[in-house]
Structure 1
Amino acid sequence: MRNLALVASIIVTIFITGCLDNGQPERKYPGVTEGSPEYTALEFFNYLYNSDSLDPVLALSTPKMKTLLRSYHTNRNAQRHVVNLVFSDVEMRVDAGNRRVRSEYSKESTVTIFFVGNSHGKKIQDLRTVDLIREGGQWLVKDVYSESYGGR
């Protein structure tokens, strides 16, 4: 009887411990490290598709990209003309199969983002390749290329 109570208390303890916060913050993009080029690319598109303002998108852009984005005035226009993908809702992830090797000390990086979303009532799946450069310790989006239109 005593062994049964001991086993039950161990099981309850394990269960409660498993339910507690482990002190690790939940990652915004699972498997992607904050401060990495992949994180910046995902943030760029997240703000482009889920924000009402271009300001957070501009903060993640090189001066050349900022000029291009500002010329379209709105997120929706930038989606249509810069990215060539307009979604009513979208999920994005890094296309790990096309990830290019990079060093943490590199100045440039190329990341491919996989999009799945709804556009005009249709489910769309597409890729965009993003060139980023590191300036002042921060990754910035330099260019966005469409894989389906021959890329660069």
Structure 2
Amino acid sequence: MMTRLAALPMMLWIVLLLTGCNQDGGATNDKVKDDTPEHAALVFARSIYNDKNLDKALSLSTPRLQRILKNYHINSNVQRHVFNLPYEQVKIVADGGNKIGRAQFAENASVVLFFSGTYNDDRIEELRAVKLLRQDGQWKVDRVTANFR
């Protein structure tokens, strides 16, 4: 437990470096290919924080998560209750870890997303693990957690 807490400041520093280097405001991540779990996780999270409705997020979710999202009705409720991260403005970056070949053959995946933004004039930087399942050849988000196991 203590080693995880000790690693958190380093991970947050990496987030600052990554978001500072991104010139497009976090709209895309050039190193993430379209058919990867990282891409699905990014599009899912960005739709929660940037879209006006949950339609895109619902299309990228497993039936289990779709039921949960529908219960919260609006994006701000999903931010608050599913991600436990309300933001007014946010940049989201996927962990680019060295996972070559994993997406091609795996049936499940876990992606770490780095969140950096503001809420009530406070700067908030957090990490979330997004668990994905491959369903009908597409990556679907099954759950979002702060636990990285």
Give TM-score scaled by structure 2 length.
0.76
In structure 2, what is the Cα distance between the partners aligned to 1:67 and 1:87? 23
Output the amino acid matched with 2:108: E
SS for the counterpart of 2:111 is strand
Correspondence for 2:37 = 37
Unaligned runs of 5+ in 2: 1-26
Structure showing greater relative contact order (alpha-carbon pairs closer than 8 Å, 6 or more residues apart) = 2
Q: Is contact 1:130–1:141 with CA below 8 Å preserved after alignment? A: yes
Question: How far 1:95 moved relative to its partner?
Answer: 2.2
1:56 matched to which residue of 2?
56
1:138 maps onto 2:138 in alignment: yes
SS of 1:104 mapped into structure 2? helix
In the alignment, structure 1 segments of 5+ residues that lack a partner are 1-26
User: Could you say which structure has the larger radius of gyration?
Assistant: 1
Q: Deviations over 1:58-108 (max 9, x none)?
A: 0000000000010001000000000000111100111235x6672511110
- Is the 8 Å Cα contact of residues 60 and 139 (structure 1) preserved in structure 2? yes
> Which amino acid is the alignment partner of residue 140 of structure 1?
K
Q: Which residue of 2 aligns with 1:79?
A: 79
Identity of matched residues, %: 38
Name 2:66's counterpart in structure 1. Answer: 66
Is 1:114–1:126's contact at 8 Å kept on the other side of the alignment?
A: yes
**CA RMSD, Structure 1 to Structure 2 (Å):** 1.7
What residue is the counterpart of 1:28 in the other structure?
28
- Residues of 2 paired with 1:119 and 1:54: CA distance? 21
Distance across 1 between alignment mates of 2:119 and 2:38:
24
Hey, what's the Cα distance between the residues in 2 that align with 1:103 and 1:94? 15
After TM superposition, the score normalised by the length of structure 1 is: 0.75
Q: Which runs of 4+ in 1 moved over 6 A?
A: none
1:110: Cα distance to partner? Answer: 0.5
